[in-house]
C-alpha cells in the first residue's frame, strides 16, 4: 500500500462491539490508521453487540462503519446462532483448551473468522487498506481454533495469493495486536488509550434489556480480566 504523502493509512477493523475489537481499533488509531469498521450480523443471538459496535465506532471517530448481513443460522452448528442453549462457564474456569486437550465449546461458530476476514479482505482491496485488524486472542479466550496465531498467519498468506493487491505485492496485513495479551493486559491497554469499556458488550446470553448474564465464558473472561487489572467493569452488574 502506498498512500500519498500526508494521507492517513487505512485499516479495516472487524468490529464486533466487544472489548477486544474495541481495544484493537484504539491501538490501530494510535498507530495512525484511519479506521473503517465492518460489523457483521451473522445471526448471533447476542445481537445487542451490534449497537455496541455502533457506539464504539462513533466514540473513536471511524471514517466509515458498515454493517452487513451474512446469516450463518442457515448452517447452524453453534449455540451462538441459536442451536442449543448458551452454556455457563465451567465452575472452575481456568485457561482455554490446548492442543493436548482440544475441546471446543458449543459457542464456536463454524468458520466464522474465516468468513469475517474474507469480507474484510474484499473491502480492504477496494479501500487500498494497509491492514485488516482483528481482536482475536490466544491466551484468555474460549478455545476457538480460528483465534490461534497459526490461523491468522495462514489467512495472511491466503490474502497474498487470492487478491489483485497480493499479486502486485501489497496485500493487506492481518494485524491481531491482542493475540499474545492476557485479558487484563488488554483492558489496561484500552484504559491507557482512554477507551470507554462501558460502550462495549461481551455477554453471549444477555437478557431482553441487554444486561449480561454473568455466567457464560465471555462474561467470566471479562470479569476475570477486570479483576486481574484491578479495575471495575463500567457495565451494569450482571443480573441475579
CA distances from 41 to 13, 68, 165, 171 (A): 15, 6, 27, 26
pTM: 0.91
Cell numbers linked to 164:
489483485
Phi, psi angles (nearest 5°) of residue 171: -65, 145
Query: What is the mean pLDDT of the segment spanning 116-138?
Result: 97
Handedness of CA 202, 206, 212, 214 (dihedral sign): negative
Return the H-helix or E-strand segment holding 127. Answer: helix 112-127
According to the 3-state scheme, what is the secondary structure of 191-231? HHCCCCHHHCCCCCCCCCCCCCCCCEHHHHHHHHHHHHHCC
Enumerate the β-bridge partners of residue 173.
131
Just give the CATH number of 9-229.
3.40.50.620
Cα(211)–Cα(36) distance, rounded to whole angstroms? 28
* 164: pLDDT strictly greater than 80: yes
User: Which helix (H) or strand (E) covers residue 237, if one does?
Assistant: none
pLDDT tens track for 69-103:
999 999 999 999 999 999 998 744 445 444 434 57
φ, ψ at 42 (rounded to 5°): -105, 15
> What pLDDT score does 89 carry?
85
**How crowded is residue 192: how many other Cβ atoms within 10 Å of its Cβ?**
10
Q: How far apart are CA 73 and CA 186, in angstroms?
A: 31
> Does residue 174 sit in helix, strand or coil?
strand
What are the residue boundaries of the structural domains of the chain, listed by start?
9-229
pLDDT at position 236, please?
Answer: 54
pLDDT band for position 111 (cuts 50, 70, 90):
very high
Nearest alpha carbon to residue 116 among 79, 139, 144: 144
CA dist 23 and 171 (Å) reads 24
Amino acid at each position: 500500500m502506498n498512500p500519498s504523502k500526508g494521507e492517513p493509512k487505512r485499516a479495516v477493523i472487524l468490529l464486533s462491539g466487544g472489548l477486544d475489537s474495541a481495544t484493537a481499533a484504539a491501538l490501530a488509531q494510535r498507530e495512525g490508521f484511519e479506521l473503517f469498521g465492518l460489523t457483521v450480523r451473522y445471526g448471533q443471538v447476542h445481537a445487542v453487540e451490534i449497537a455496541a459496535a455502533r457506539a464504539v465506532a462513533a466514540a473513536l471517530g471511524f471514517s466509515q462503519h458498515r454493517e452487513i448481513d451474512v446469516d450463518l443460522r442457515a448452517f447452524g452448528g453453534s449455540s451462538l446462532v441459536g442451536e442449543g442453549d448458551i452454556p455457563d462457564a465451567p465452575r472452575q474456569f481456568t485457561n482455554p483448551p490446548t492442543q493436548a486437550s482440544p475441546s471446543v465449546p458449543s459457542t464456536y461458530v463454524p468458520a466464522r473468522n474465516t468468513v469475517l476476514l474474507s469480507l474484510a479482505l474484499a473491502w480492504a482491496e477496494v479501500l487500498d487498506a494497509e491492514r485488516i485488524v482483528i481482536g482475536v486472542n490466544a491466551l484468555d479466550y474460549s478455545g476457538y481454533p480460528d483465534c490461534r496465531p497459526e490461523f491468522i498467519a495462514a489467512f495472511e498468506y491466503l490474502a497474498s495469493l487470492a487478491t489483485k493487491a497480493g499479486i502486485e505485492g501489497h496485500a493487506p496485513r492481518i494485524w491481531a495486536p491482542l493475540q499474545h495479551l492476557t485479558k487484563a493486559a488488554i483492558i489496561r491497554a484500552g484504559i491507557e488509550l482512554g477507551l470507554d469499556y462501558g460502550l462495549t458488550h461481551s455477554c453471549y446470553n444477555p437478557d431482553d434489556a441487554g444486561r449480561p448474564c454473568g455466567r457464560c465464558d465471555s462474561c467470566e473472561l471479562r470479569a476475570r480480566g477486570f479483576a486481574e487489572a484491578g479495575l471495575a467493569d463500567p457495565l451494569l452488574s450482571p443480573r441475579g
